[in-house]
Structures are given as structure tokens and as C-alpha cells.
Structure 1
């Protein structure tokens, strides 16, 4: 079936009925009814999720007394549906997922951060050398309402464009699929992380912006769930957080092993995995901290300016800080 872009802007759908999981190479299955079994949802395959892949390869979940079944979706919108329906116990995905759900009246909580990475870059076809030159063009994002959507609209606005009129934001799925769509002429600009940034450069596309040019830190991924994941079994939730923290530390201490786990999960070369890790490993924090107050101000400014969010929500509405570092 040919790739068909979706151009109509929509809000995150919040289903009342159970959502059928989109099974991928990471596995499939429903959420646990109790005990120490966890269904973990991931938005897409990404090198920045290295600690999750390493935890699986090194049997860290089992060492902490957990049985974890990971399921990968086609973006944050599908992942959010699965969390809200109860088919996924906990997600590790973008912060836009739980915030959009909260804004729509759903009760969810972020329980862990630590993935505070500015790992995104934008690439464009050869005739485009700057963001402003992308006016009237098709810009690829994973899903409408995702972090890639939020960031792309913010980047356009910073360049003097109206993100709702001057560019066409196209929902195109994971980076590999969007790079293929770019080569097919269906997209003229795209937001990528490594290794697609390397592949885009090799294909002759121009890097027109780095996220680090806009902000110094960004909540790339957070762990989030419905409150029952923690309140219904706090010991299980603590084991999950402790395992993820250990996997983050091992990713930093044993990057060679982490690169092998990335390569295995994403079916890329170990060298490409290492190149990707070099871009963000210094912004991986095993204590699970959220980005700085300034970085979070920047994040909300992006979402409000791009009309991904209607208003800024107080931290107490979406953040469960019991597993996070204490701040003065």
C-alpha cells in the first residue's frame, strides 16, 4: 500500500473503548491485571530509547522481579490511546502525550524523566537552506500532537512563519518511513534523530536547524501512566523506576553494550548506534530528573505557540514526583 500523508490537523483521540494494540517487533499483548507483570508502551523505535533495549538484553527487568512485555506503536497518539484504555500499564514516550491527555480531561501522571535530550534536527531538500524557505512545503512529523509536531511548529514560528498556515504538517510515522517519503518527493522537510540524520545527510539533504540551537534541554521521553499504576502497586512501580534508572546508568557506563542493544532493536549498524549515542548520552540522567525550570518554560512556550496546548497546566496536575530527585 503506498504511503499516504495525513494533512488534516486533529487533536489526540481519547477512546472510551479498549484500543487494539499495534504489535511490532518488540512484541504484543495486553496490560497486566496485577502482580509484577508490566506491559510497557513505546511510541516508535528510536536510538534514544537505548536504556529500554539494554534492560531487555541484560535481563534487568527479571533481576528486579519484573516481567516486562514491550510494545512499540506508530507514534505518541496511538500509545496514549493504549495507556488510557488500560492496554498498556506504563509508557515511555514524549511529554506531549500525557499533557494532551490531561488537557482533554484524562487523569494521567508522569512518574520519571531523565531523557532530557536535544537530539532532534531538521533536514530539507537541496533547494531549501533555511527554515523560512520551507514556506508552503510539506513538513514530516511522526503524528499530529506529538513532540515532533510541537517542535516543528515552534521552529517554523521562530523563523517567522505561521505554523498553521505557512507550512503543511504531515503525519508520516517513524523516521525511516518519513525519510522514504522524502525520497519519494512527498515531503520536503523533516525532523529526525540519529541515525536518520546521517542517512539524510548521505542522501544529499540539507540540515537547516538543530534543536540545540533553540533550547539547551528538552523532555525527549518520560515515563507516564494512569495513577493506578503507582497507587495500585507502588512496589511494582518502584521496581520499574529502579530498573530504568539502572539501565540508564549502564547505558552511560557501558556505551558499547548499549550500542549493540540499539543495533539489535533497530537493525542498524553498531557504528551508527554509537554515532547516535554521542549526540545525547550527556543528557541522559539516571536520577530521572525533569529538565530545568527554564527548559520547561521553553517547552510550554513551544506548545502554546504551536497551539498543541490550550494553556499551561500546573505541575501538580500531571507530575507525580515521588520517584524524582528532591528539589529545594
Structure 2
């Protein structure tokens, strides 16, 4: 190895290190909060796949962020973590922004992960072999990821359309993975509102009957009468106002993940997600992914009409919302998504 080569190598290394450290300093100067904690309820679900992609492919790091993700049994638990101060941001369902505004605690969604809920409500063939209609669920036990979560909201809406109230059934938190499968298969619950890959695993063995399905845009429109924003990243209004550059960096990473997912094939997905997400069946996991792929947002934009559809749906079973003056413009913003899409075409 000659001296000329060593000299060139040394110069190249110095330039690289200078560039790296300069970049880190710039990030540190522009990001108000480089370390961000995100709470999520059921990270293994396709509902939150964009979050996992952004994390696993290093997109948060590329934006200068150190992100710590804490996984909870359901979206309601993740929301509690943020309200309690143990998380800065939540990867969770859009409807929480409406409910929290009604309680005088304004939070804002700033990037959309899913444009359809992907939630499926099922009846157990084991405990309800003669199930015919939603009316048959009166007095029964219904599993949800966690009480107060988006799965609970979906179940409430389906019940309301059939003339039943939430109090007419018993809701049981079963999580979003093996616990949900076990609860259904053991007969602990009579019905369940949950998401893929759990749903496809139960369907594959003919263990359930589908009551309502929101994995496609068409089915979602049929049930709710319009677009229905699902998973988002949301945070308190105060956090976003105080940390606009940090919020932009989070949005950039998520939009980049959404763009990647639009082009990724099934084999790309299994290389990115942790092995535990596959629940021991890679082929089934990929089959489930193809069922929900359409539900993923292509660019992170939260549709104006979707916010109105959500409020209308919530008002069907939450009487407290009926008399509230909800300012939907405060529940979401697309300002950060617009900039992120300019950066990642």
C-alpha cells in the first residue's frame, strides 16, 4: 500500500468525518427536541406498519432524530402515556384528537398512516355458531385491543347501527397479537374487533364469521359513508407549536416510509419487519398484507372529508359529543405533510 493511497484515504476519511459531525451539529441546532418518545398501541399491526418501516430503515435517524418507541396493548393506553407525560407523540387513531378536544385537551394529528381503519369485527364460530345479526351480540363479551381504543370505537359504531348501546355488551381488552388469538380460540369472548394479521389467521381456519370489514376503501365507504382516516402521528397542540422542526422531521420520516411502502413488494416487507410480527407464519402474514395494502396512505395527507365522516360516526354512539362544538381544523394539519412531500417525491 503506497503513501499516496494512504494520504488520499486519510483526507477522504477526515472530510467524511467533518461532514458527518457538521450534519449532526446542524441537526442539533435546528431540531428543538432531537430525542422523541412515541407511544403506540399494537406496533405489530399493519395499522402501524409505516411507523415500523420508518424505524427499521433508519428514516428517523436520517432526519437527526433519536426515537424511542413504547408499545402498549391498545391505542387508548398509548394516549394515556402521552397525557401522563411519558410520551411526546402517539402513533394512534385519528378519532382520539376529536375526543380529546371535547375534553378540553387539544391534540393534533400531523401525518396520516392509514386511509381506512383496517379493523374487522368478527363473531366466534365456537361460542356463537348460530350467529345471524348484530342483535345476537346483546349481552355477549366482545374483545377489543384495549377499552377506548379504535377497535372499541368500531365495535360501538357497528352496535349503534343495529340499535345497541355500548352498555348492552361487555368489552374485554385482548391486545393485538397472540393474546387476541387465544381469547377467541379459547371461548373467552364471543366476538372481537381487531386487525391483521390476527384477523386473517382466524379466517384461514374458519374460526369466525365477519360482521363488518374496513380493510378496503370500498368496504370502509359502505360502512361509514365516506373516507375514514385511521392511524396518524398526533401530539398535543403545545408540543407542535413549541417543536415545529422536530414535528417536520417526524413527518418527513413517515412520508418517506409511506412512499417506500407504495413500491415495496411482499418480500421487501418481511425483510424489514421483526420476525415476531409474522406470528410464526410468513405466508399468512404476506397474504394479510395484500388485503390491507390499499388502506395505507400514499402520501400522509389527512382528507378534510374524512375528518367530517369521523365526527359523524363518533356522534352516533357518544352522546357527549352531540352537544360539543368541535373545531375539526384544530384536530389535524397537513402543513408538515406538504413540505415532506416536496422533499420526498
Per the TM superposition, whether the score is higher than 0.5 is: yes
Matched residue, 1:223: 233
Asked if 2 retains the 8 angstrom alpha-carbon contact of 1:251 and 1:257, the reply is no
Secondary structure (helix, strand or coil) at the match of 1:222 reads strand
Using structure 1 for the length normalisation, give the TM-score: 0.80
Matched residue, 1:135: 138
Question: Structure 1, unaligned stretches of length 5 or more?
Answer: 1-32
Distance in structure 1 (CA, Å) of the matches to 2:114 and 2:144 = 20
Match of 1:178 among 161, 180, 188: 180
Larger radius of gyration: 2
Question: Structure 2, unaligned stretches of length 5 or more?
Answer: 1-30, 340-345
Alignment of 1:204-283 (within 5 A): 204-211=207-214, 212=219, 213-215=222-224, 217-255=227-265, 256-262=267-273, 264=275, 266-268=277-279, 269-283=281-295
Asked if 2 retains the 8 angstrom alpha-carbon contact of 1:101 and 1:107, the reply is yes
Deviation at 1:248, TM superposition (A): 0.8
Cα distance per residue 1:11-70 (max 9 Å; x no partner) = xxxxxxxxxxxxxxxxxxxxxx95412111111121221122122221121122211111
Deviates more, 1:140-149 or 1:315-324: 315-324
Secondary structure (helix, strand or coil) at the match of 1:185 reads coil
Using structure 2 for the length normalisation, give the TM-score: 0.77
Number of matched residues? 292
Asked if 1 retains the 8 angstrom alpha-carbon contact of 2:144 and 2:171, the reply is yes
Deviation at 1:71, TM superposition (A): 0.9
Deviation at 1:189, TM superposition (A): 0.4
Distance in structure 2 (CA, Å) of the matches to 1:308 and 1:246 = 39
Q: Which has the higher helix share?
A: 2
Distance in structure 2 (CA, Å) of the matches to 1:265 and 1:226 = 31
Cα distance per residue 1:150-209 (max 9 Å; x no partner) = 111111122x23123433333333253233112222210011222111221215222222
Distance in structure 2 (CA, Å) of the matches to 1:177 and 1:188 = 15
Matched residue, 2:40: 42
Secondary structure (helix, strand or coil) at the match of 1:117 reads coil
